[in-house]
Structure 1
Amino acid sequence: MKTVYETYQNEMMYPDLDIHQACRRLSQAIQCRTTSYVDVSKVDDAQFKRLHDVIRTSFPQVMHHGEVSMHGNSMLIKLTGSDQTLKPILLMSHLDVVPVVKGTEKDWTYGPYSGAIADGMIWGRGALDIKNMVFAILEAVEYCLTHAMNLKRTIYCAFGEDEETCNTGSARMAAYLKKQGVQLEFVLDEGGGEIIDGDVYGAKGSLVSSICLSEKGYADLLLEAKSVGGHSSNPVHGTSLGHLAKAITAIAEHPLPARLSELNKAALRTLAPKINQEPMKTYVSSIEAHENAILDYYLNSEELYNQVSTTIAPTMICEGAQAGNVMPQNMWAVINFRLACHDSIDTLLEACSKLVGDEIKCSYIQANDASAISRYDSYGYQKLTETLQTFFGGVSFIPNLVTGSTDARNYECICDTVLRYGPFIEEAEIVSKGVHGTNERISIRAYAQGIRSLIHLIQQTCK
């Protein structure tokens, strides 16, 4: 498989785009330590204000033409178009970042909040997740306005403050727009943005990238085992730790039934002309007739199984007894689930409660169902696909789902086309090790190509 940079094309489009200054502005944003926490008392509001100020001073045309409203630390910018019969679009991202793990600061090649521009990269927390998209959106809008583009369609730029934790910022902005009666043509958020070898789908020799139209549900299930403890010489009724271990094992070994969704089928129909390897070549010739076989294929693939199933990941357990000859008292554990679109948090809780029996109490710490599936026959999906094909050659773009989560789901109340794709296509190793990790960084080439993609999308949909 060739490198992702070899797919880049039309890099000379918009030759007067000042990439050097764009990188400098992103660097300034990274230097703002806008970390979000579930415990909001830990949030440093001054750092968010600092970032707001960077935005206000960096994009004079956006500020001149736009109407800014603040929703807590979240920022919503409205750029009114001349044709009010056209539904607006909303370009979104988030201002917050995850913390840098204490003690790892020295492991960074450049400081985690340095915003260093070095070695062809922009370094620091937020470079990939996802201040790059915040500032690329603003760079693209600023470029269009500077070049006297007449906006026919209204553009909203929505930047949330806590996507990494509670998603309250995007929820407030969505509620604000709904109250105003806004209905959107499409939303574009982060998600997707990877190019993989099509061999995963049986499309040998092809490159594939997913435009994500849905995201899985999320649940943190708390398991609690009560016990008075006692001497370990008399475990007549077992121990709380033993009961908890059995409960975790029972749940992990009994996943909910997997199913091929309509979105999975749409992905295969889109990719079918490229699928040249058996057994998938036969399977996609009649997807409905071979649905069970395709499901088995997905379930036996490390790359695909989580697209058709609710995943189960035991993640936390409390400390047991303080000595080897003491039975533990009350204990708890947490299992994280990412719910497939055909499952619900209600059916999951019921199934888990039946599996663990009366000794264990099951309850949710937090939980939400999978998002709606957005339209892939829509104007927004078509225009985004055309834009991506303009800048990334030889790639097949397919509708798919995010196996993680974003805050884009909050806008489903005012939009039926919520697209998740960040056009900052990087090498897999940089993404896998950098997002939420040490040495987070983005190449200048990838950042520039993302800006070009967003300029083009705005020109194609709002001009």
Structure 2
Amino acid sequence: MVLNRWYYQIPVMQPKERQDITRQNVETLFISNDFQDSLARRLAGAVQVPAIAYDDMGLVGEDPRWEVFHQFSDYLTKTFPRVYEALRVETVSTHGLLYTWQGSAQDLKPLLFMAHSDVVPAGESTSLQWTYPPFSGHYDGEFIWGRGSEDDKSNLIAMLTAIESLLVCDFKPHRTVILSVGFDEEGGADRSYGARCLAEVLLERYGKNGIELIFDEGIAGIESRFGTDFALPATAEKGYVDVDVKLSVPGGHSSTPPDHTAIGFQAQIINLIEDNPFQSQLIRQNPTLTFYRQAAVLSKSMPLELRDAILGLKPTKRFLEYMDSDRERRAMVRTSTAITMVQGGDKVNSLPETANLVINHRIALHDSVQAVKEYYSALLRPWAKKRHFNLDAFGVVEKNREDSQTRFDNNNDCGDLTLTAQYELEPSPISDTEDSRFSWLAGVIKGVFGENVVVAPELLTGNTDTRYYWDLSPQIYRWSPWRASHDPRGTRMHTLDERMPIKGLVEMVKFYHEFIRVLDEVQR
């Protein structure tokens, strides 16, 4: 067995200076009922502003649905007057917000926090099923209810409250602290007016790798796995690409159909794709492997057989079989394939001339956008040749019939198959967990949540706004700092009855408060 550094856990890190701040805020203010009620009301007010980002939003300034974001900005200005007085607050791309708390030490790179103000729709068809209306911001003494209460207004309100609490104590940072707030993180994968523009401003201002580290939303809270509490900041994200598959065949009357209509051909292709998934691999750089090695050494109840499979010289076939046996786990080691949109046919008695489907992929760290394209070209080429379909695979054309050949008759299947890709995003760079900056993060987590919490990296299967920030720092962490156990129903983001426990929200404030203080003391 190879155990070496997997035994090692980062020691607790807590602020050493200004213990008066610890006594005033951490030990007194944050545990008071008055503070918790005030904090809950702040998040409730933020939830009550329905800052929804739809997939089909038009340009900012042209689509009136963006106007509500002015209301949200006004709410923050009124709620955090001390922050707006002490920090430089800039508006970027109309609704993006950039807060800069200038530090006194010019040689220290800034600490960058990220959040977003937009939320997903609540869904008209399910609005009556909510325990409380989705934009009511109802607070029942335990939970703040409503869309955005967890994703991601909780992080934003907690960050601003932490900064305000430090301002009240006359804390003056040595290291500059930046908060970058996008407004269209939920609005679709193919463009961004928020985070992209904010990142461009920051890159111009601080230069490549000009930020010490970046912290954004991610996996919700501390989770219990194998009988042990784990904090799992994501140090990498999977890539992304949508593949469009279009079939074109002659139409006609449904009373004399061919053996296969366009929709029938579409069904064949769907079966072919779903029966031939991408292969799972677990490369050394995948943070999932680091997590499982930590868990194998430090968790309380991992089965011995699984421990042995993980801690061998190489991950064994048995370990990959374990990963593949659950769809959540296999997403960590495989490029996922999800057929999410299909279209074909306009009328019941008319043969469809086209059929389309869209396949969404989250690309594993060992794959690439080009690898996904090559997979589809190789998979569908034999099918197209057998069926005499001309194939256009991402611009590479292969003819499988003569121009003079009858396109469609009783004895011959013919048509055109076209593959295109939309929104191509490679897997993210991987932040190094042996870097001292990961140690800072892990130390603060243990200082806030307890030394028995095991901190290990994780892979994020979705994408955050950090995809625009890669050039700003090699150390990017994605995590939402609260205990998931505070809500017995678990995380409810993007679904019915989204809610945030007040205990978790207070933990968020405490984490950001202490993270700022600790990073202000290191490397000085």
Deviates more, 1:146-155 or 1:220-229: 220-229
2:274 aligns with 252
The Cα shift of 1:321 comes to: 5.1
* Inter-CA distance 212–150: structure 2 relative to 1 (3 Å threshold): same
Compared CA separation, residues 287 and 397, structure 1 to 2 (3 A)? farther
Aligned to 1:278: 304
Out of 29, 37, 47, the position equivalent to 1:16 is 29
TM-score normalised by the chain length of structure 2: 0.80
- Note the C-alpha offset of 1:235: 4.3
How high is the TM-score relative to the length of structure 1? 0.90
Which region of structure 1 is more displaced relative to structure 2, 37-46 or 77-86? 37-46
- 2:80 is matched by which residue type in structure 1? F
CA contact (8 A) 1:80 1:154 kept: yes
Q: Which amino acid aligns with 1:363?
A: T
Matched, 1:50 2:71: yes
Task: Tell me if 1:180 matches 2:238.
Answer: no
Residue of structure 1 in register with 2:19 after alignment: none
After TM superposition, give the deviation of residue 383 of structure 1 in Å. Answer: 2.0
What are the residue-to-residue correspondences of 1:292-441 with 2, within 5 Å? 292-320=317-345, 322-323=347-348, 326-356=350-380, 357=384, 358=391, 359-393=416-450, 394-427=452-485, 430-432=489-491, 434-441=492-499
Provide the rounded CA distance (Å) in 2 between the counterparts of 1:119 and 1:148. 31
Q: Which of the residues 145, 151, 155 maps onto 2:173? A: 151
The one-character-per-residue Cα deviations of 1:182-236 (angstroms, maximum 9, x if unpaired) are: 411111101023444433xxxxx32333110111112222111112222345444
Q: For 2:445 and 2:77, how far apart are their aligned partners in 1?
A: 29
* Structure 1 residues 23 and 197: CA distance shift in structure 2, 3 A: closer
1:64 aligns with 2:85: yes
Give the secondary-structure state (helix, strand or coil) at the position aligned to 2:371: helix
Structure 2 counterpart of 1:360, one-letter code: L
Q: Which letter does structure 2 place at the counterpart of 1:55?
A: L
Cα distance, 1:29 vs. partner?
A: 1.0
CA distance in 1 between counterparts of 2:520 and 2:195 reads 23
Contact kept? 2:262, 2:344, Cα under 8 Å: no
Between the aligned partners of 2:520 and 2:80, the Cα distance in structure 1 is 19
Higher gyration radius (CA): 2
Query: CA shift at 1:319, angstroms?
Result: 4.2
Instruction: Tell me the alpha carbon deviations over residues 96-133 of structure 1, each in whole angstroms, 9 at most, x when there is no partner.
Output: 00111113222222121111111511111110111000
> CA distance change for structure 1 residues 176 and 403 in 2, over 3 Å: closer, same or farther?
same
Aligned partners of 2:471 and 2:421: how far apart in 1?
A: 24
The answer to whether residue 295 in structure 2 is matched with residue 238 in structure 1 is no
> CA-to-partner distance for each residue in 1:315-335, whole Å, 9 max, x for gaps?
111143532x54322111111
Q: Specify whether residues 43 and 387 from structure 1 end up closer, same or farther in structure 2 by C-alpha distance, changes over 3 A only.
A: farther
Q: Which moved more, 1:274-283 or 1:402-411?
A: 274-283
Cα distance in 1 for residues equivalent to 2:255 and 2:488 = 51
For residues 405 and 287 of structure 1, do their structure 2 counterparts lie closer, same or farther at Cα, with a shift above 3 Å needed?
farther
Tell me what 2:514 maps to.
Answer: 456
Deviations 1:142-186 (A, max 9, x none): 111111112010011000010012433111111111112341111
- The answer to whether the 8 A contact 1:36-1:43 is kept is no
Distance 1:329 1:102, change over 3 A: same
Shift of 1:431: 4.2
Measured after TM superposition, the shift of residue 390 of structure 1 is 2.5
> Which residue identity is paired with 2:26?
M
Q: Distance in 2 between matches of 1:265 and 1:98?
A: 32
Q: Which runs of 5+ in 1 are unaligned?
A: 1-9, 200-204
Q: 42-51 or 97-106, which moves further after superposition?
A: 42-51
Q: Distance in 1 between matches of 2:328 and 2:222?
A: 13
Match of 2:322, as an amino acid? Answer: Y
Structure 1 residue 458, shift from structure 2 partner: 1.0
Distance in 1 between residues matched to 2:508 and 2:311, nearest whole Å: 35
Distance 2:184 2:313 in 1: 40
53, 74, 98: which one aligns with 2:120? 98
Cα distance between partner residues in 2 of 1:209 and 1:399:
8
Per the TM alignment, residue 237 of structure 1 is displaced from its structure 2 partner at its CA by: 6.2
Give the one of 35, 43, 67 matched to 2:52.
35
Maintained 8 Å contact 2:82/2:164: yes
For residues 178 and 85 of structure 1, what CA distance do their matches in structure 2 show?
Answer: 17
Partner of 1:110: 132
Does the CA contact (< 8 Å) of 1:353 and 1:361 recur in 2?
no
Report the AA paired with residue 108 of structure 1.
W
On the 8 A contact 2:173/2:520 being kept in 1, the answer is yes
**Does structure 2 conserve the Cα–Cα contact (< 8 Å) formed by 1:35 and 1:43?**
no
Specify whether residues 343 and 425 from structure 1 end up closer, same or farther in structure 2 by C-alpha distance, changes over 3 A only.
same
Instruction: Decide whether the 8 Å contact of 2:222 with 2:482 is kept in 1.
Output: no
Q: What displacement does 1:279 show? A: 1.9
Aligned 8 A contact 1:426 1:443 in 2: no
CA offset digits 1:298-320 (Å, max 9, x no partner)? 12234311100011111111143
Give the AA of the match of 1:279: E
Contact residue 186 and residue 416 of structure 1 kept, 8 A: yes
1:7: which partner in 2?
none
Q: Which moved more, 1:382-391 or 1:416-425?
A: 382-391
State the one-letter code of the partner of 2:241.
Answer: A
Q: Give the distance between the partners of 2:328 and 2:343, measured in 1 at CA.
A: 31
Supply the RMSD in Å over aligned alpha carbons: 2.2
1:389-417 per-residue CA deviation (whole Å, 9 max, x = no partner) reads 23334332211111111111211111011
